[in-house]
Structure 1
Amino acid sequence: MLTISEFGRRAGLSQKALRLYDVSGLLAPARVDPANGYRIYDEEQLERARRISVLRQLDMPLSTIADVLAGSDEQALILLDRWWAAEEATTAARRATLDYLRGRLNRTGLSGLSPRPVLTREVPATKIATIRAKTNQPMLVGVIVSGTDEIASYLRSAGATFTGGSWVIYHDAITLEAEGTVEICVPFEGLVDPAGPIAIRVEPAHHEAYCTITMDECSFPRIMLAYDLVFDWVRNQALEAGAPREVYQPNCQALPRDAPAVDIAQPFLVRRP
């Protein structure tokens, strides 16, 4: 058995951090001395403590660390890879945002959006697996990447067949200051039950207006210029619009940054004669 100071020294954690992890339920001491309140740790807890220390060095949130450490090592590896993919996607999006701002300051022409048409299409009723999540703008990319990967992993394990790319429906405005609800959707075929945060539903058939952008153009705030094109088209046609969405081609992250990869779309109601 180890005192909190000895345990912290061997685990690479401060006593302040250990008290925080105790309160949060992440790493409780083996026992607390009833006479003096001293925290006593078991040597077998060192491996968990060291894992927490390493994950905190990666700036992983405590809630995510709790999820990573809750299951087997195999499950932890899946969650770790999923979180890291989301972090890398967020970093790429921030880099593209920086390039946008530099383009504005340098007047290099990188900040705008080249002219492109707004097209329309009919979308058939589609069975989808979805996750709804609350997020703000800085966390948005990570939420989309991790949610899409979670759904895809579940569908693969259930033996489902993917029938296209994924999309994200924006049920609320997403801003720097306020969170809103997004719905991450993956179309599939097969018999799959809902599980945990993953729901199964049918996206109704609809018409939508859309324009296509590249992955470079998908970063904020350049992406808002594409939304402007679609919103303006729908408004000019005096059509009743539905919730906007981003429709991603399969494996769009692996496409060249300047290749068409994402459709900015908005459903609308067709006027009947």
Structure 2
Amino acid sequence: MLTISEFGRRTGLSHKALRLYDVSGLLPPAQVDPANGYRLYDEEQLERARRISVLRQLDMPLTKIAEILAGSDEEALIRLDRWWIAQEATTAARRATLQYLRDRLSRTGTSGLPPRPVLTRDVPATKIATIRTDTDQQTLIGVIVSSTYEIRAHLAAAGAALTGESWVIFHGAVTPEAEAPVEVCMPFDGLVDPAGPIAIRVEPAHREAYCSITMDECAFPRIMLAYDLVYDWARAAGLPEAGPPREVYRPDCQLLPRDQPAVDIALPILERKA
């Protein structure tokens, strides 16, 4: 058995970190001396501790570390890759946000979104697999990417036919300061059971107003100008909202040229009465 000092020396973890990992359940000691409360660790815990240390170097939250280390090494590798892809997507989005601000500061008075039409379309009742999560603006992209990968893997394992399209439905206002529920959805055909956070439901048929934007225009806050465009059009046309707004991502949108339409900003609307 190793004392907390020896265990910390061999893993590079401080006493404070080891106590935190104990309280969180991430790395409890092998035993605690009932007489003096000293924590004692087994040598077999060294590898887990070192993995935790490396993951913390990536600024990974403790809850995500626990999730990654909960299964086999093969499962941990899949979860790690998905998390890292989400982090890179978040970084790319932040870079686009910075560029938007630089553009506005260097070209005062210019529009952040070139003019484009708002169109309408009918969407049939659609079977979707979804993950619903509360998130704020900072973690939104990571949630979208990781949830999309998880849903796609589940549907593929079940042999479902995918359309390639995905949606993000906003059930509240997601801001930098406040969380709100968002629903990442993937339409599919076939028989699929729900599993874990993945639910299966049918999105009712509806009519929606939408405009198309590029991947470069997808970054916050530029994307909010597209939402304003759709909402203003619906109000001017006297068409009340009939559901929460959504982003509709076209198949392989990340592979499209950055200046080509890739995402639709859509708002369900009620039909105008004759």
Same-fold status (TM-score > 0.5): yes
After TM superposition, the structure 1 stretch with the greater mean CA deviation from structure 2, 249-258 or 135-144, is 249-258
Tell me what 2:248 maps to. Answer: 247
Are the counterparts in 1 of residues 4 and 39 from structure 2 also a CA contact under 8 Å? yes
Pairing 1:122–2:149 present = no
Letter in 1 for 2:271: V
SS in structure 2 at match of 1:117: coil
SS in structure 1 at match of 2:197: coil
The 2-side partners of 1:52 and 1:190 are apart by: 40
How many residues in Structure 1 have an aligned counterpart in Structure 2?
273
The 2-side partners of 1:207 and 1:164 are apart by: 21
Letter in 2 for 1:63: T
Provide the TM-score with structure 2 as the length reference.
Answer: 0.97
The 1-side partners of 2:257 and 2:16 are apart by: 46
Task: Tell me the alpha carbon deviations over residues 41-98 of structure 1, each in whole angstroms, 9 at most, x when there is no partner.
Answer: 0001000000000000000000000000000111111111111111111101100000
Q: How far 1:180 sits from its partner (Å)? A: 0.5
SS in structure 1 at match of 2:130: strand
Distance 1:103 1:109, change over 3 A: farther
Tell me what 2:87 maps to. Answer: 87
Q: How far 1:164 sits from its partner (Å)? A: 3.5
Provide the TM-score with structure 1 as the length reference.
Answer: 0.97
Task: Tell me the alpha carbon deviations over residues 156-206 of structure 1, each in whole angstroms, 9 at most, x when there is no partner.
Answer: 111111023100111101111111111111000110011111110111111
Tell me what 1:26 maps to. Answer: 26
Q: Write out aligned runs for 1:37-186 (5 A).
A: 37-107=37-107, 112-186=112-186
Pairing 1:259–2:260 present = yes
Letter in 2 for 1:28: P
Task: Tell me the alpha carbon deviations over residues 192-251 of structure 1, each in whole angstroms, 9 at most, x when there is no partner.
Answer: 011111110111111111110011100011001111110011111111212110000112
Are the counterparts in 2 of residues 245 and 264 from structure 1 also a CA contact under 8 Å? yes
SS in structure 1 at match of 2:137: coil
Q: Which contiguous aligned blocks of 4+ residues in structure 1 show a shift greater than 6 angstroms?
A: 108-111
Distance 1:110 1:96, change over 3 A: farther
Task: Tell me the alpha carbon deviations over residues 130-151 of structure 1, each in whole angstroms, 9 at most, x when there is no partner.
Answer: 1111011111111111111111
RMSD of aligned Cα (Å): 1.3
Are the counterparts in 1 of residues 164 and 252 from structure 2 also a CA contact under 8 Å? no
The 2-side partners of 1:71 and 1:110 are apart by: 52
Tell me what 1:10 maps to. Answer: 10
The 1-side partners of 2:151 and 2:15 are apart by: 39
Task: Tell me the alpha carbon deviations over residues 100-131 of structure 1, each in whole angstroms, 9 at most, x when there is no partner.
Answer: 11111111898611111111111111100011
Tell me what 1:218 maps to. Answer: 218
Q: How far 1:256 sits from its partner (Å)? A: 2.4
